[in-house]
């Protein structure tokens, strides 16, 4: 089974900061990685798919990069609406694995 490890688990930042979240796969997953944003009591929202493709309607301050086993989600300038939890996800026909999540808090 493929394991997905996210870091950090919690991140404290201020509005306007550049924020980076890392996700590591236990084996190569090519670019089959997505990023979701989740706010308390709400369903996750797809931000990025295929490691670096921005989902429609998602602000351009969100970007994803990486391939193989190392991936990053970057928020170029953190906005008040961005304080939330973020999850990476490996997806394939046969299985789905989520990372443990990163909570972005107000500093």
Partner 1 sequence: QLQLQESGPGLVKPSETLSLTCSVSGGSVRSSDYYWGWIRQPPGKGLEWIGNIYYSGSTYYNPSLNSRVTISVDTSKNQFSLKLNSVTAADTAVYSCARGAVIGRVTPYDHWGQGTQVIVSS
d(CA 1, CA 45): 25
DSSP state of 99: -
Q: Give the x-and-dash track for 50-69 against partner 1 (CB under 8 A).
A: x----x--------------
Q: Does 101 bind partner 1 (CB under 8 A)?
A: yes
Residue 96 to residues 4, 45, 60, 76, 92, Cα–Cα distance (Å): 10, 16, 26, 28, 6
**Do residues 25 and 69 make contact, with C-beta atoms less than 8 angstroms apart?**
yes
- 37 near partner 1 (CB under 8 A): no
Residue 1 tokens read as 């089974």
Q: How many residues bind partner 1 (CB under 8 A)?
A: 24
Answer yes or no whether residue 81 interacts with partner 1 by CB under 8 A. no
Indicate the SS3 state at residue 82. Answer: helix
Residue 43 found at the interface with partner 1 (CB under 8 A): yes
Pick the piece of the chain touching partner 1 (CB under 8 A) from 15-23, 48-56, 60-68, 70-78. Answer: 48-56
13 binds partner 1, rule: CB under 8 A: no
- Asked if 16 interacts with partner 1 (CB under 8 A), we say no
């Amino acid at each position: 089974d493929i394991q997905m490890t996210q870091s950090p688990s919690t991140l404290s930042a201020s509005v306007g900061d550049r924020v980076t979240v890392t996700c590591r796969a236990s084996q190569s997953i090519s670019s089959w990685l997505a990023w979701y944003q989740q706010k308390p009591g709400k369903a996750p929202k797809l931000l990025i798919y295929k490691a670096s493709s921005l989902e429609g309607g998602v602000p351009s301050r969100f970007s994803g990069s990486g391939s193989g086993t190392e991936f990053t989600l970057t928020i170029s300038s953190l906005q008040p609406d961005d304080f939330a939890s973020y999850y990476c996800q490996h997806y394939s026909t046969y299985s789905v694995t989520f990372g443990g999540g990163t909570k972005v808090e107000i500093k």
